Structure 1
Amino acid sequence: MGSSFSFLISQENYLAAPSPVPGLGDLPESCAASVLVYLDPPEICKLAILNKAFNGASSADSVWESKLPKNYGSVIQRVFGESDVFSKDLRKRDIYSRLCRPNSFDGGTKKVWLDKRTGKTCMSISSNGLAITGIDDRRYWSRIPTEESRFHSVAYLQQIWWLEVDGEVEFPFPAGSYSLFFRLQLGRAYKRFGQRLCNSEHVHGWDIKPVQFKLSTSDGQQATSQVYLKELGKWIYYHAGDFFVADSSKSTKVKFSMTQIDCTHTKGGLCVDSVIVYPSEFRKRLQRF
């Protein structure tokens, strides 16, 4: 077998001298880095295994500085405070990697992370971080543990006359356009014999009047939308509105709410998981309403 395999390899392959023509492996790291700044992070990681030049350039601070939000220092301060998680000599690549994880702040009621591909800022606010009318009265609301939430619990409404859920966040959002969604589900999901099922026992009242979503910002932006809640047993992202951040050097306060305060009828059977803030360009990732 060995002699047969050797026979397939021409003698020229053994005697060939190194090519005098420069290749990608001879590219200076500085030149490779100037190429990588135009690529997104996953592409940079792929090229890092191409050769020594690209491998070295893939760790350059200049490359990863271009991927971080311009105000990433303010983001770190808001989320981590005086923590020593980020040492002064930490490479920009490592800072980017850490910020791409869901990082909790405000007592664990909020999480923020960078999208790995684009470096855009995303945020999730748990139901525990929202002001829900009647949440402490178990006749109306209860907290339910679940694996279907990144916060491991949701607020479940059994029945109420006056639905009001309010929240706000103040954060140094990088400049850009953002969309805000409420993640809701009609019915209570559970598992039986490994199959996901939905208990619709308390679901009622949502087809009579629409739910109203509102959004406002500290610089005067406002948005309002109304939606009937219809689909049962599925997590839906209900679009509340959009806002734009022009100045990333200061924090933007965003207030938002979900209400259905027509007291002519009761409503119930609603799971409130969280509020999501995504770059507006990501809306295609979520269902539109």
Structure 2
Amino acid sequence: MDMCVVLPEECISRIISFTSPRDACRSSVVSPAFKSAADSDAVWETFLPSDYQQIISSSSSTTTATLVSLSKKDLYFYLCDNHLLVNNGTLSFSLNKESGKKCYMVGARRLSIAWGDEPRYWTWIDQRLFPQSRFAEVAELKYVFWLDVKGQLETKILSSKTNYVAYLVFKFANSRRGFESRPIELSVYPEGSESETRRNKKVVLDPPRNSLPQPYQRRGDGWMEIEMGEFFNEHGDDGVVVCSLFDFDGFRDKGGLIVEGIELRPKNY
């Protein structure tokens, strides 16, 4: 029996809204009636975050006015394929295409960087020299013995019941040093947790190019990323997650690391 004859479009839309974005797209090719139901705003509104209107209204993007006029399906895929700058341009927001879960990148200006305001240690580079960056500025390490970079994000703005992975998004300058042999310490942990309970990983950030596997992945936007750690955001309570990059070597300095930010994305299933 043809379900489209038995059930009105509103009921079909309601059923599809309990599935996933992938299933909704598949349903749209079943028949014209299914396509109308599967493409409806009623379906795609359920796949968007509950606070998507607030996020869009807080964006500094020039396309904000255009976004509110899109259908909910078009808006969903726009947010998957693009990023919105929020929080005065210090955070970027997007959606995971498979799940609709929230993704955020903490820009370099929002990171806590030890001696980040001292030009002899770190310099800030305008986006005009790094047009592939989504932020107005990136940070370049010039000279330190003590590397200490932290990103913090309130868990309440992330998707609940979601396993997140944090990534350092970076490049190397043509001249770099101090990262080719000594491992740096990466960690992701709740703010206020005891150091003994944190799960740290140590990685050589710039090993010889002929060594496999390389610790980082090359991204489609021209940057590289390396996994820092993961955490499960259960309820999205008013906590804070901390992502840390640390090393101290009193005998050899470091330089040439260019940081765009730290990105938090839902873990792929």
Bucket of the pairwise TM-score, normalised by the shorter protein: 0.7 to 0.9
Kindly provide the amino acid, as one letter, of the partner of residue 216 in structure 1.
Y
Deviation (angstroms), 1:184: 2.3
1:43-79 deviations in Å (ceiling 9; x for gaps): 535654765422431344542244234xx23x65467
Tell me how far apart the structure 1 counterparts of residues 73 and 132 of structure 2 sit (CA, whole Å).
31
The alignment's TM-score, normalised by the length of structure 2, stands at: 0.73
Unaligned runs of 5+ in 1: 1-21, 189-198, 283-289
Unaligned runs of 5+ in 2: 210-217
Identity %: 27
In structure 2, the partner of 1:64 is: 44
Q: State the structure with more CA Rg.
A: 1
Kindly provide the amino acid, as one letter, of the partner of residue 146 in structure 2.
W
Tell me how far apart the structure 1 counterparts of residues 135 and 255 of structure 2 sit (CA, whole Å).
22
Q: Secondary structure at the match of 1:165?
A: strand
Assess if the C-alpha contact under 8 Å between 1:179 and 1:243 holds in 2.
Answer: yes
Deviation (angstroms), 1:140: 2.4
Deviation (angstroms), 1:135: 2.3
In structure 2, the partner of 1:7 is: none
Instruction: Give runs of aligned pairs for residues 97-116 of structure 1, distance below 5 A.
Output: 99-100=79-80, 101-116=82-97
| Alignment root-mean-square deviation, CA | 3.6
1:105–1:232: structure 2 CA closer, same or farther, 3 Å change rule?
A: farther
Assess if the C-alpha contact under 8 Å between 1:179 and 1:241 holds in 2.
Answer: yes
Kindly provide the amino acid, as one letter, of the partner of residue 157 in structure 2.
P
Q: For this pair of structures, how many residues does the alignment match?
A: 244
Tell me how far apart the structure 1 counterparts of residues 164 and 40 of structure 2 sit (CA, whole Å).
30
Deviation (angstroms), 1:169: 1.3
Kindly provide the amino acid, as one letter, of the partner of residue 239 in structure 1.
E
Deviation (angstroms), 1:246: 1.4
Deviation (angstroms), 1:242: 1.1
The alignment's TM-score, normalised by the length of structure 1, stands at: 0.68
In structure 1, the partner of 2:10 is: 30
Assess if the C-alpha contact under 8 Å between 2:180 and 2:208 holds in 1.
Answer: no
Deviation (angstroms), 1:104: 1.9
Tell me how far apart the structure 1 counterparts of residues 264 and 226 of structure 2 sit (CA, whole Å).
12
1:149-200 deviations in Å (ceiling 9; x for gaps): 2225421112222211122111432221111111122x32xxxxxxxxxx2x
1:55–1:207: structure 2 CA closer, same or farther, 3 Å change rule?
A: closer
Tell me how far apart the structure 1 counterparts of residues 134 and 199 of structure 2 sit (CA, whole Å).
27
Tell me how far apart the structure 2 counterparts of residues 243 and 217 of structure 1 sit (CA, whole Å).
9
Assess if the C-alpha contact under 8 Å between 1:112 and 1:124 holds in 2.
Answer: yes
